[in-house]
Structure 1
Amino acid sequence: MNLRLQPVQVATGSDDGESRLVFHESFLVAVLVQLSDEHGPEAGKWFLEAGFGRVDDPNAPTFADLDEAQAWIVGQLA
């Protein structure tokens, strides 16, 4: 299953770093945000800012890196 990640800036209200829109088959399925230093020990990890359809999760997970985030998204879509 192929995902396409597109860099984007997201107005999260904090000083978070990079963000990615995640597409599967031309559908937007998730928005990932890399957590900034203000998140303490979570800094540098990736957070599911928003998930759509099967990727929606009321307990939004945090991931060590983009590979882990993509693997989780693929699992949700399978």
Structure 2
Amino acid sequence: VQVATGSNDTESHLVFDDGFLVAILVHLCEQHGSDAGRWFLEAGFGRVDHPNPPTFASLDAAQDWITHRLATTASSAL
């Protein structure tokens, strides 16, 4: 999926949890300087929403963060 971010970032991934879209990750291009090559939380929905969207060194790191976020906020809501 390509997301119209207004930059040259062309690779992105939709992240689903139990059939629901929870995040959109975008692979940052060289236009982003030292963050080039990292993955950015372009949008988080529900429990993955974050006021200061992070970047991640890899998709695995992003997946770990999203999984933790879904588990943490679900258990803290109880």
TM over 0.5: yes
Shift of 1:27: 0.2
Mark the structure with the bigger radius of gyration. 2
The structure in which a higher percent of residues are strand is 1
**Quick check: 2:3–2:10 contact (8 Å CA) kept in 1?**
no
Aligned residue runs from structure 1 range 1-78, under 5 A? 8-78=1-71
Identical columns (%): 69
Letter in 2 for 1:18: E
Gaps (5+ residues) in structure 1?
A: 1-7
Structure with more of its chain in helix, by fraction:
2
* Whole-angstrom distance in 1 between the partners of 2:9 and 2:37: 9
The secondary structure found in structure 2 opposite 1:21 is: strand
Runs ≥4 residues deviating over 4 A: none
